[in-house]
Amino acid sequence: MPTLHKLAACLIVIAVVLGLTLPRAEPERQGRAADAAHAAQRATASPGTTARATPAGNTSPTALPTVSPTAPVKIGAATPRAAAAKANELGEIPVLMYHRILKKPTLSLDRSVDEFRKELERLAREGYVPITAAEMVSGRIDVPLGKHPVVLTFDDSTPGHFGLDEQGRPKPDTAVAILLEVAAKNPGFRPVATFYLNEDLFQMGDQAANGLTWLRRHGFELGNHTVSHPDLSQLSKKGVQKEIGGMESTIVRLTGTHASTLAYPFGSAPGKRSWAQRKDGEYDFRGIFLAGWKPSDSPFDKDFDRFAILRVRSEGKIKENDCREFCSTAWLDKLDKDPDTRYTSDGDPNTISFPSADEDTLAEGYRPYGRSY
Ligand SMILES: [Zn+2]
């Protein structure tokens, strides 16, 4: 059955190589910025945009710089407010993975408009605040005291995610429109998300440049999901670079900006991870997302691997694919029941607060920001 095949393929989860890959600020490379600026001039983006390309992408925040201390760093004391809120910035962050959003779902990975709205309302009610994938991998997590970051990711740039009507507003019942509605009713719930794009951009045709520009201007992140959605594990180095580089050049041509993050089609990594991470003059990602079965480690955790970030499929507690335990409803239930495992903000994006028992979990490069209680 093709549906089951697709599902099985989409849920391929590669073995995670746990390395001590600490996030670092990427050096800016002039050649690439110049290439991108040139591309921006040729871009058909709507007039008035002042897109400026940088390797890390315009939508990408400046990374919280990691430090290589020469002497052991003593962890400071958390503020009483952070301790009272049980801040835990070494806790887990759910990165939710959505595919098609439709009024009437037809495939197993689809979610209905109604299910999507309800999931967002639940997130708002339980104190989650959306951040982008780029913000997460950069360690720029700016959510209020006591709140929990969540990353909303959408794969395959299908029309149920986004479109613009005649007046230039998001089409009703698209993921973007619903997210904006829920945010309007829930102050503090940021309407941001990350879209992993393939060559067919929301079926927008010659309006794609306008569409992508609209998304970027409204704080949405545009990520790379390859040109034609192949299984990268089956391709040569050249094939991998062509698929990723081709999509990247489309994104740069249409927006004047590079993507900061990539999601592997089917969650499937290429023969060598480095093929997907960077190609001189073409792409240079700060983070790569897989499919997955559990929330991600905090980016400040020493085990966090920014090139193998786990995501959780959005789905109820259905039997299929162990969703009773490993999809979004099940995980949100677990995090709600066991809040100590979840990332809870100290309200200050420049400090990393956590219970003192977890001190050894903090990545070395982030120790100067550490505050325990
Ligand atoms: Zn996909």
Q: Distance between CA 310 and CA 331 in Å, rounded?
A: 13
**61 Cα to the center of ligand 1, angstroms:** 25
Tally Cβ neighbours within 10 Å of residue 303. Answer: 13
121 CA from centroid of ligand 1 (Å) = 25
In a 13 Å sphere around the CA of 29, the CA atoms on its Cβ side amount to 15
Which pLDDT score, from 0 to 100, does residue 238 have?
A: 98
The residues near 72 (Cβ < 8 Å, ≥ 6 apart) are none
Report how far ligand 1's centroid is from the alpha carbon of 350 (Å). 34
Tokens read off for 173: 């019942």
The 10s digit of each residue's pLDDT in 313-356 is: 999 999 988 999 999 999 999 999 999 999 999 999 999 999 99
Give me ligand 1 centre to Cα 333, in Å: 26
Share of the chain above pLDDT 70, in %: 83
Q: What is the DSSP string of 28-44?
A: P-HHHHHHHHHHHHH--
* Separation CA 281–CA 368 (nearest Å): 33
Q: Residue 188 above 60 pLDDT?
A: yes
Tell how far the Cα of 267 is from the centroid of ligand 1, in angstroms. Answer: 8
Q: What is the mean pLDDT of the chain?
A: 87
9 CA distance to ligand 1 middle (Å): 10
Whole-number Å distance, alpha carbon 286 to ligand 1 midpoint, is 19
pLDDT of residue 180: 98
The two beta strands, 283-284 and 278-279, are antiparallel
Asked if residue 285 lies in contact with residue 224, where contact means CB atoms within 8 angstroms, the answer is: yes
How would you class 76 by CB atoms within 10 Å of its CB: exposed for 0-12, middle for 13-18, buried for 19 or more?
middle
Token duo for residue 330: 């099940």
Distance 229 CA to ligand 1 centre (A): 6
CATH 3.20.20.370 domain extents, the chain: 93-345
Confidence band (pLDDT; 50, 70, 90) for 60? low
pTM for the predicted model, two decimal places: 0.85
Q: How confident is the model at residue 62 (pLDDT cuts 50, 70, 90)?
A: confident
Angle CA 264–265–266, to nearest 5: 105
Give the span between the Cα atoms of 297 and 19, in whole angstroms: 13
Q: How many Å lie between the centroid of ligand 1 and the Cα of residue 245? A: 17
The 10 Å Cβ neighbour count of residue 232 is 22
pLDDT of residue 67: 82
Distance 155 CA to ligand 1 centre (A): 5
Separation of alpha carbons 18 and 29, rounded Å: 28
Q: Give the 3-state secondary structure of residue 240.
A: helix
* Residue 372: CB atoms within 10 Å: 20
pLDDT per residue as tens digits for the range 1-36? 444 444 444 444 333 333 333 333 333 333 333 333
56 C-alpha to ligand 1 centroid (Å)? 22
pLDDT in tens, 189-201: 999 999 999 999 9
Over residues 115-170, the pLDDT tens digits come to: 999 999 999 999 999 999 999 999 999 999 999 999 999 999 999 999 999 999 99
Q: Which of 273, 205, 217, 215 is nearest to 244 (CA)?
A: 273
**Cα(367)–Cα(362) distance, integer angstroms:** 7
For the CA atoms of 264, 237, 286, 292, the dihedral, rounded to the nearest 10 degrees, stands at 30
Q: Give 41 Cα–ligand 1 centroid separation in angstroms.
A: 30
Measured in angstroms, how far is the CA atom of residue 228 from the centroid of ligand 1?
Answer: 9
**Ligand 1 centre from 361 Cα, in Å?**
32
Ligand 1 centroid distance, CA of 99 (Å):
7
Q: What is the pLDDT of residues 346-368, one digit of tens each?
A: 999 999 999 999 999 999 999 99
Residues facing 352 on adjacent strands: 370
Q: How far is the CA of 193 from the centre of ligand 1 (A)?
A: 16
Expressed in angstroms and rounded, the spacing between residue 181 Cα and the centre of ligand 1 is 26
Distance 156 CA to ligand 1 centre (A): 5
Signed CA dihedral, 283, 284, 289, 290: sign only: positive
Residue 112 phi, psi dihedral angles, 5° rounding:
-80, 160
225-278 pLDDT tens trace = 999 999 999 999 999 999 999 999 999 999 999 999 999 999 999 999 999 999
CATH 2.30.110.10 fits 93-345, yes or no: no
The 3-class secondary structure across 149-178, one letter per residue, is: EEEEEEECCCCCCCCECCCCCECCCCHHHH
